[in-house]
Structure 1
Amino acid sequence: MTNEHPNTNLHVGRIARKDVVSVSRDTTIDKVAQTMADENVGDVLVTENGDLVGIITDRDLVIHLLTDEHGTNILHGDESGIDRTAEDIMTKDPHTIDSHARVPRLLHHMNQVNARRIPVVQNEDVVGIITFDDLVVHLAGESEHVAAQLESLADVVHAESP
């Protein structure tokens, strides 16, 4: 038996979402947004010939299209934004994590690259995506399970104590 908590030994690939949504570089922004809405996701991966080339998050859509942060604000110009494509706003070459990485490595990686969504790869192929929200929900569930076990053990200790 190890001293490690079971959560720290868990492979990222086991908790990653397998149902990854992707679009091509030339997908128009309105279609990207509609895809996110239809699939009820906050991100899409951008692929070319099966290779990951970018990621777009719902935050990227807002920042690129509704602020002056990147010079692509559709509210302050004559352009409607209809001609913009995934390639125009995607984060190119997104950070990834190997499916065999452990949860502490994932948390460190997310912190280092300041990302809440990380594509999960195995042999350079995308096999899923892990979001910070999914990780929090998973860890909360695990913590609840551990708390229940500790409570049960506490009952045993109290029953056997003088």
Structure 2
Amino acid sequence: MSRERSDTDLRVGRIARKDVVCVPDDATIGEVARTMVEANVGDVLVTKGDELVGIVTDRDLVVHLLTDEHGTNVLAEGGSGSELTAGDLMTGDPLTIESDARIPRLLHHMNQASVRRVPVVEDGDLVGIVTFDDLVVHLAGESAHVAAQLDSLSDVVHAESPAK
């Protein structure tokens, strides 16, 4: 039996979502929020023309708009926020990963950068996004598969073991 883990050779592109939701950098925060709601996503990638320039997450909206962390609190006296754009709120130059990268490399980079969402590229072109949630679902499936194999093996071991 091989000791190599089944997820070590899996490529990021196999689990990445291809239906990436993007907004232009000049989209208003209202448009960003509506896009997130309509697409039922927790992030949008920000583009300028065809170029990926950033990412806005649901957390970015909360931190920027409801706290004094960035001086854009819409709840503060005189706060409006209506003039803010995706470009104002985005995390610029987001971490990306090539679609042929292996899952352990992705996990390492996500951990180092403390991010939960990573755009996936091929030759510099955006082709998808992988989220921490996608990884959890994949790994849970792997665990269920391994558990089923172990359960089957335990039946063999039990059947072939000497009686006590």
Q: Does 1:41 align with 2:41?
A: yes
The secondary structure found in structure 2 opposite 1:74 is coil
Q: Which residue of 1 aligns with 2:23?
A: 23
Contact kept, 8 Å, 2:12 with 2:103, in 1: the verdict is: yes
CA distance in 1, matches of 2:56, 2:110: 16
Residues matched between the structures, number: 162
Deviations 1:88-121 (A, max 9, x none): 1000110111111111111110010010111111
CA distance in 1, matches of 2:22, 2:115: 18
CA distance in 2, matches of 1:55, 1:14: 22
Q: Which residue of 2 aligns with 1:77?
A: 77
Structure 1 residue 161 displacement after superposition: 2.1
Kindly report structure 1 stretches of 4+ aligned residues shifted beyond 2 Å: none
Q: Which residue of 2 aligns with 1:94?
A: 94
Q: Which residue of 1 aligns with 2:155?
A: 155
CA distance in 2, matches of 1:2, 1:13: 24
The secondary structure found in structure 2 opposite 1:45 is strand
Q: Which runs of 5+ in 2 are unaligned?
A: none
Q: Which residue of 1 aligns with 2:140?
A: 140
**Sequence identity, in percent?**
69
CA distance in 2, matches of 1:65, 1:102: 36
Q: Which residue of 2 aligns with 1:13?
A: 13
Q: Which runs of 5+ in 1 are unaligned?
A: none
CA distance in 2, matches of 1:151, 1:130: 31
CA distance in 2, matches of 1:34, 1:4: 45
Question: Given the two structures, how large is their TM-score scaled by the length of structure 1?
Answer: 0.96
Q: Which residue of 1 aligns with 2:128?
A: 128
The secondary structure found in structure 1 opposite 2:53 is strand
Amino acid at match of 1:56: V
The secondary structure found in structure 2 opposite 1:82 is coil
The secondary structure found in structure 2 opposite 1:7 is coil
Q: Does 1:109 align with 2:104?
A: no
Contact kept, 8 Å, 2:72 with 2:79, in 1: the verdict is: no
Deviations 1:139-162 (A, max 9, x none): 011101111011101111211222
Question: Given the two structures, how large is their TM-score scaled by the length of structure 2?
Answer: 0.95
Structure 1 residue 5 displacement after superposition: 1.1
CA distance in 2, matches of 1:33, 1:145: 38
CA distance in 2, matches of 1:14, 1:161: 40
